[in-house]
């Protein structure tokens, strides 16, 4: 990934936090079937290996699991908050006009050698853990046990588990840290004016740009 120093995020806890907050990962393989990519909900097990392990499951009908079984390495992309930046927000536009549009975003890329898992105990734990992660903030969380046991057993026959011990991980938070302070303030104000839809972006621009956090 192209990594200007201002945007680089090497803290493992920050990288893992983005994965947990945005668990839909784009799994990319370049195996016998050629380039292939699928969006798959994932978990990160932070304590399993030095950089953590990605756990997920694919539909058995999804041929990418066979690609994962045959490759030495795959890549998973996790996309965090992102939004457009108009030059009209920059103080520099009013001063010189020498500005262009850009895009702010946060992302984490991970690499590792995947392992296919077809063990029922592992698969049930994966379903329980993924469900708990996604349901934990609901007032009455749904649990796998809420469905009939024979139905869950039948559903599990249609999935295949994947473990990806992370061998390399990169984080990038491109939030205008390279711009003059007046431009960063303008972007923060621009996101704040967009309201709730851009609230997370406003907070990240403030955090990464050394500006007071939005109220």
Q: What is the pLDDT of residue 215?
A: 65
- Measured distance CA(165)–CA(208) in Å, rounded: 29
Q: In this structure, what token pair is assigned to residue 55? A: 């756990």
For 36, 44, 186, the CA distances from 125, given in Å and listed in that order, are 27, 13, 47
Q: pLDDT tens across 84-111, in order?
A: 999 999 999 999 999 999 999 999 999 9
Which pLDDT band, with edges at 50, 70 and 90, does 7 fall under?
A: very high
In percent, the amount of the chain with pLDDT more than 70 equals 99
Q: In this structure, what token pair is assigned to residue 145? A: 């046990």
Q: pLDDT tens across 125-137, in order?
A: 999 999 999 999 9
Q: What is the pLDDT of residue 1?
A: 95
- φ/ψ of residue 143, rounded to 5: -120, 155
Which pLDDT band, with edges at 50, 70 and 90, does 197 fall under?
A: confident
Task: Sketch out the chain's domains with CATH numbers.
Answer: 5-82+104-176 (2.30.110.10)
Q: What is the pLDDT of residue 6?
A: 95
pLDDT for residue 73 is more than 90: yes
Asked whether the beta carbons of 52 and 13 are under 8 A apart, the reply is: no
Averaged confidence pLDDT in the chain: 96
CA angle 73, 51, 176 (to 5 degrees): 95
- Diameter of the chain by CA atoms? 68
């Amino acid at each position: 990934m192209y990594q200007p120093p201002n945007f680089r995020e090497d803290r493992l806890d920050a990288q893992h936090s983005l994965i947990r907050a945005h668990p839909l990962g784009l799994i990319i393989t370049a195996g016998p079937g050629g380039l292939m990519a699928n969006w798959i909900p994932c978990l990160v097990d932070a304590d399993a290996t030095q950089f953590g392990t990605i756990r997920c499951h694919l539909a058995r009908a999804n041929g990418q699991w066979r690609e994962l079984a045959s490759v030495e390495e795959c890549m998973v992309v996790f996309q965090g908050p992102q939004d457009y930046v108009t030059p009209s927000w920059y103080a520099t536009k009013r001063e010189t006009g020498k500005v262009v549009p850009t895009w702010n975003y946060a992302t984490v890329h991970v690499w590792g050698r995947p392992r296919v898992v077809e063990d029922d105990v592992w698969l049930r734990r994966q379903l329980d853990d993924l469900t708990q992660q996604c349901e934990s903030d609901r007032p009455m969380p749904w649990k796998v046990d809420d469905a009939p046991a024979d139905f869950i057993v039948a559903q599990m026959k249609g999935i295949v588990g994947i473990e990806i011990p992370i061998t390399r991980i990169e984080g990038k938070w491109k939030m205008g840290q390279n711009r003059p302070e007046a431009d960063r303030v303008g972007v923060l104000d621009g996101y704040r004016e967009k309201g709730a839809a851009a609230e997370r972006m406003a907070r990240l621009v403030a955090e990464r740009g050394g500006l007071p956090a939005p109220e």
